[in-house]
């Protein structure tokens, strides 16, 4: 079975966003701290996280269907990496909760909701990597077609990373406001939670981005080889290579993309430096 070409229902977001937001509100209303100022802040973060997870679910489905224009992606290609990723996430949750799953069930529900919302987008991100890795059409496809495929794949990848970064930021905000509500504030716990969430996103994103950059460099070498050029032609060829590399994002690094799109990474690094280096 491969990626289908039918677009998701156009009004799906009108169902998933209110439904997931209602789940977040129900979770917030069960808190023993209901009515306090800190609860109000946390409940807003919880509902926003839940609703955003519903929106991310639809966004991921739409990006998944767009992959049909780039190439077939067998489901088994994405099922195994997703199963491994979510298994790792489950182990991390078990370690973090340390037997307190009953007491922390609200946080568990919100985290699971976020994970469910990101599932289609994560599958699409893995699918982009499969398309970048597949080279069966390289010999017969024109350079222009290859360029269009790589640019579209890069835009898909950045769009997915941006949405994931937003969900990670909301997760960190919900975790931090939950600690404030329960008067158990721990900067270290927030830093570790944010770093772990960001790392899980990076595990998926970094290999895919590396494959796209590799394909981009191969296309640049194909379009503008330097080996047979005369010395007076090198400057013009280098300028053309630079413009093509910029369009393909070959000059960008995976860490740079993560820093740009995961808005929580910068504050986490700064917070970690201020907390741990000051000791």
Cα separation of 268 and 256, whole Å?
15
Residue 94 has pLDDT above 60, yes or no: yes
Q: Summarize pLDDT for 197-215 with one digit per residue, the tens.
A: 888 888 899 899 988 888 8
DSSP for 52-80?
HHHHHHHHHHHHHHHGGGT----HHHHHH
Average pLDDT of every residue of the chain? 81
Radius of gyration of the chain (CA): 22
pTM of this structure? 0.82
Residue ranges per structural domain of the chain? 13-276
Return the pLDDT at 270. 53
Q: What is the mean pLDDT of residues 254-268?
A: 63
Angle at Cα 177 formed by Cα 50 and Cα 189, nearest 5°? 105
Residue 64 has pLDDT above 60, yes or no: yes
Between 104 and 103, name the one with better pLDDT: 104
Rounded to the nearest angstrom, the gap between the alpha carbon of residue 139 and the centroid of all alpha carbons in its chain is 31
Cα separation of 4 and 14, whole Å?
22
Cα 141 to Cα 34, 88, 131, 137, 173: the distances in Å are 61, 38, 14, 6, 46
Return the pLDDT at 275. 44
Between 87 and 225, name the one with better pLDDT: 87
Range from 99-113, 120-134, 153-167, 255-269 carrying the lowest mean pLDDT: 255-269
Rounded to the nearest angstrom, the gap between the alpha carbon of residue 136 and the centroid of all alpha carbons in its chain is 27
Is 259 buried (19+), middle (13-18) or exposed (0-12) by CB count in 10 A? middle
Q: What percent of the chain has pLDDT over 90?
A: 24
Rounded to the nearest angstrom, the gap between the alpha carbon of residue 201 and the centroid of all alpha carbons in its chain is 5
Return the pLDDT at 1. 42
Residue 137 has pLDDT above 70, yes or no: no
Query: Is residue 122 very low, low, confident or very high in pLDDT (cuts 50, 70, 90)?
Result: very high
Return the pLDDT at 97. 67
Token pair belonging to 218: 């191969």
The residue whose two tokens read 């369009």 is: 247
Return the pLDDT at 273. 46
Q: What is the mean pLDDT of residues 88-117?
A: 79
Q: What is the mean pLDDT of residues 19-28?
A: 93
Query: Is residue 110 very low, low, confident or very high in pLDDT (cuts 50, 70, 90)?
Result: very high
């Amino acid at each position: 079975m491969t990626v289908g070409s039918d677009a998701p229902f156009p009004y799906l977001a009108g169902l998933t966003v209110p439904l997931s937001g209602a789940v977040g509100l129900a979770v917030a209303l069960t808190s023993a701290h209901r009515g306090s100022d800190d609860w109000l802040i946390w409940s807003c973060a919880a509902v926003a996280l839940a609703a955003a997870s519903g929106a991310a679910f639809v966004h991921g489905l739409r990006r998944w269907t767009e992959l049909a224009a780039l190439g077939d992606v067998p489901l088994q290609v994405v099922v195994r990496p997703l199963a491994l990723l979510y298994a790792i996430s489950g182990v991390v949750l078990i370690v973090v909760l340390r037997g307190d799953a009953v007491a922390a069930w609200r946080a568990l529900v919100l985290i699971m909701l976020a994970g469910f919302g990101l599932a289609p987008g994560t599958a699409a991100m893995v699918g982009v990597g499969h398309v970048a890795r597949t080279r069966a059409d390289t010999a017969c496809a024109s350079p222009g077609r290859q360029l269009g495929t790589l640019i579209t794949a890069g835009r898909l990848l950045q769009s997915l990373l941006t949405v994931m970064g937003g969900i990670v930021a909301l997760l960190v905000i919900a975790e931090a406001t939950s600690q404030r509500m329960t008067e158990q504030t721990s900067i270290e716990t927030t830093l570790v939670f944010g770093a772990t969430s960001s790392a899980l996103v990076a595990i998926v994103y970094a290999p895919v981005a590396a494959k796209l950059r590799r394909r981009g460099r191969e296309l640049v070498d194909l379009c503008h080889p330097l080996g047979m050029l005369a010395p007076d032609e090198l400057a013009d060829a280098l300028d053309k290579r630079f413009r093509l590399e910029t369009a393909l994002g070959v000059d960008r690094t995976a860490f740079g993309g993560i820093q740009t799109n995961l808005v929580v990474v910068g504050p986490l690094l700064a917070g970690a430096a201020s907390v741990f280096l000051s000791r």
